[in-house]
Amino acid sequence: MSLDPSYLEYPHRRRGLDHDLFPWSALHTRPPITWPNGKRVAVVIVISCEFFPLTPTDTPFRAPGHMQTPFPDYRHFTARDYGSRLGVPRLVEAVAKVGAHASFAMNSRWAARFPDLARSIVAAGHEVVAHSTDMNGTIATGLPEADERALITASLEVLHAVTGVRPSGWLSIARSQSWNTPRLLAEAGLRYCLDWVNDELPYRMTTPAGALVNLPLNHELSDRQIIATCQQSAASFKEQLLDAHDWLDGEVDAHGGRLLPVHLTPYISGLPYRIDAIEQLLVTLASRPGVWFARGADVVDASGA
Amino acid sequence: MPNPPAPSDPQLYDPIPDPRPIRWPGGKTCAVWVAPNLEFYELDPPPHPRRKSWARPHPDVVGYSHRDHANRVGHWRMADAMSRHGFPGSVSLSVALCDHIPEVVADANARGWEFFSHGIYNTRYAYDMDEAQERAIIEDSIATVQAATGQRIRGWLAPALTHTPRTMDLIAEYGLDYTCDLYHDDRPGRVRTASGDLISMPYSLEVNDHYGFFIYNMSPREYARALIDQFDRLAREGQNSGTVMCIPLHAYLIGQPHRIGPFEEVLRHIAADGRAWITTAGAIADAWRTGGRAGE
């Protein structure tokens, strides 16, 4: 028994990272960031607005939350559509109660299906982040470059046509990229993406098409991870997010402004038995001195990344 | 060494727990050691015929960047909390981290932490290596850590917990003292190899933060409670014969902002208890040996 000799060769074993997508940098060694008006912790609420087609295409993979039963999966189609129809308005109201502006990561087909809701979200001062076309619009190695470019273009054009604004931010489905994605996003004129979860402040990626900022949208702090994957209650989700805020706020004096991303999924958090905990979370955060509810683009601006 | 036969029992240790009591220094009842896994995962590693490195096709953005959080953010948050309460680390090290991000290794070394090997990368698995290949990763580990830290590694935790049937024989032959790969006891014990004895150093899967958060799906406060319960019980049983509690950590997990606060309460609890001998794996191995239990 023996492994191929190449298995013990390490061509990328060198100073720094093993790829050129972005340089290594330790958070605590960077100059402290000061948020506008002396705020301490930027809270970025990202609400995913997803449309799951009744027929999954699985190219290149099936999105989390997608159809599961043999066709036709009315159970999951309608439960996801419940999130869009009732969950999103509940979350919009929860955000409005604390006077926050949030980032809504929209599938372009979601915006086209709910155009009045999408436009009212923009009119209320929220940001539209491009979130692919629909939940069949997944990206990974194996998706041809031309198809990926077309998907990005279609998402941006439809979102622009429906909402009147062209997004500057991009969230891939399941945060999954191909090797080409950062370059294609930069080529499409996007300023930032929300896919890489390795940091706690925005940082600059390097692509052959120019700079792209990554705003780390911590999946560990998402309702999907804590409630759907780890099977914790909404009350525990609230407690964990408040614990995170406590800790981050405690780092500000020594290290500068911090970022708390709150990633919410309408069919998870927008349910009657969970929405109260979400509202309490936002109300509690709003009551804490130094919290700045900011849209993703605002944080990218203020971070100087 | 020829390929050993495949036995039904690895026959590395006595099945019956050693009844002779262990006494830790200072009358402490539970030796507590913290094992931060300082790791490097490759974004695009070569495939291993027996195990996939990532759940998705490369680049697995979330899989990789989640772990990369440790070396950008989590390590310092975790290490500062440990230092505040007087806990040294005994580091399970992907030794290539010495080349990629020496800042992390230097920080751990400056804190007085001990290093043992966790392979070259946590994306390179030992299954199916021949003897020369396995010797190569052991020799690489010894040389790389020596050059980066001045320390001679004394222990081994197989890379991503992947072994061959000759791993124990080889690490004993190279003079290592302890293995962290056996989970059969709450106390150190003798491990028989073809090259002499090793010490089995109690590590832990069950209270490993990875198990806590992703096998048992615990909230941060539930995990903290589990660690305190583990300590309280082991400290009580240690009145009869000293026990060992290991807290195996990954900074990309425990160093997240919602987890580090509850975890710091654990460190505060154990440090204040009075029954804990807060130490390193190497010191535990030495104390156990002084008790006369090796080579008997």
Q: Looking at beta carbons, which residues of chain B come within 8 Å of A28?
A: 73, 76
Q: Looking at beta carbons, which residues of chain B come within 8 Å of A17?
A: 43, 68, 100
- Across the interface, of A27, A216, A244, the residue whose CB is closest to B258 is A244
Closest residue on chain B to A23 (Cα) = B72
Residue B259 located in a structural domain: yes
Lowest-pLDDT choice from A294-303, B12-21, B245-254: B12-21
Closest residue on chain A to B77 (Cα) = A28
- Are B99 and A15 in contact (CB < 8 Å)? yes
Judged against a pLDDT cut of 90, whether residue B16 lies above it is answered with: yes
Question: Could you tell me the CA-to-CA distances from A207 to A59, A180, B56 in Å, in that order?
Answer: 25, 9, 22
Closest residue on chain A to B220 (Cα) = A240
Residue B14 located in a structural domain: no
Residue B189 located in a structural domain: yes
Judged against a pLDDT cut of 70, whether residue B54 lies above it is answered with: yes
Q: Domains of chain A, with CATH numbers? A: 33-303 (3.20.20.370)
Q: What letter does residue A136 receive in the DSSP assignment? A: T
Residue B12 located in a structural domain: no
Judged against a pLDDT cut of 60, whether residue B292 lies above it is answered with: no
pLDDT in tens, B234-249: 999 999 999 999 999 9
Domain span including residue B99: 25-290
Residue B196 located in a structural domain: yes
Judged against a pLDDT cut of 80, whether residue B93 lies above it is answered with: yes
- Closest approach of chain A CAs to the CA of B176, in angstroms? 22
pLDDT in tens, A242-286: 999 999 999 999 999 999 999 999 999 999 999 999 999 999 999
Judged against a pLDDT cut of 50, whether residue B19 lies above it is answered with: yes
In the predicted model, residues of chain A with pLDDT beneath 50 are none
Burial of B11 (0-12, 13-18, 19+ CB in 10 A): exposed
CATH code at position B154:
3.20.20.370
- Are B57 and A142 in contact (CB < 8 Å)? yes
User: Does residue B30 contact residue B245 with C-beta atoms inside 8 Å?
Assistant: yes
**Residue ranges with strand state E in chain A:** 41-49, 103-106, 127-130, 169-170, 192-193, 203-207, 210-214, 258-264, 291-293
According to the model, what pLDDT value does residue B6 have?
73
Looking at the structure of chain B, the number of domains it has is 1
Backbone φ, ψ for residue A114 (5° rounding): -125, 60
Helix (H, G, I), strand (E, B) or coil at A105: strand
According to the model, what pLDDT value does residue B4 have?
61
- Are A240 and B76 in contact (CB < 8 Å)? no
And the tokens for B47?
């495939």
* Residue of A104, A100, A97, A98 lying closest to A120 (CA atoms): A104
- Closest approach of chain B CAs to the CA of A297, in angstroms? 21
Q: Looking at beta carbons, which residues of chain B come within 8 Å of A41?
A: none
Residue B81 located in a structural domain: yes
Closest residue on chain B to A179 (Cα) = B59
- Write down the mean pLDDT value for chain A: 98
- Are A221 and B257 in contact (CB < 8 Å)? yes
Q: Looking at beta carbons, which residues of chain B come within 8 Å of A143?
A: none
Residues forming beta bridges with residue A193, ordered by sequence position? A170, A214
Contacts A–B by Cβ distance under 8 A? 153
Residue B2 located in a structural domain: no
- Across the interface, of A7, A25, A260, the residue whose CB is closest to B124 is A7
Judged against a pLDDT cut of 60, whether residue B296 lies above it is answered with: no
pLDDT in tens, B261-278: 999 999 999 999 999 999
Spell B241-256 as b/e; 16+ CB within 10 A means b. Answer: bbbbbbbbbbbbbbbb
- List alpha helices for chain B, DSSP H: 61-69, 75-84, 97-100, 102-110, 131-149, 167-173, 209-210, 220-237, 251-254, 260-273, 281-290
- Are B65 and A196 in contact (CB < 8 Å)? yes
According to the model, what pLDDT value does residue A220 have?
98
And the tokens for A133?
């076309």
- Closest approach of chain A CAs to the CA of B147, in angstroms? 15
- Are B128 and A6 in contact (CB < 8 Å)? no
Higher-scoring residue by pLDDT: B196, B57 = B196
According to the model, what pLDDT value does residue B1 have?
62
- CA gap B117, B135 in Å, rounded: 13
According to the model, what pLDDT value does residue B294 have?
40
Residue B13 located in a structural domain: no
According to the model, what pLDDT value does residue B2 have?
64
According to the model, what pLDDT value does residue B3 have?
62
- Are B121 and A260 in contact (CB < 8 Å)? no
Q: Which long-range contacts (CB under 8 A, 24 or more apart) does B10-14 make?
A: B10/B165, B11/B192, B12/B168, B12/B182, B12/B191, B12/B192, B12/B193, B12/B200, B13/B182, B13/B184, B13/B185, B13/B189, B13/B190, B13/B191, B13/B192, B13/B200, B14/B189, B14/B190
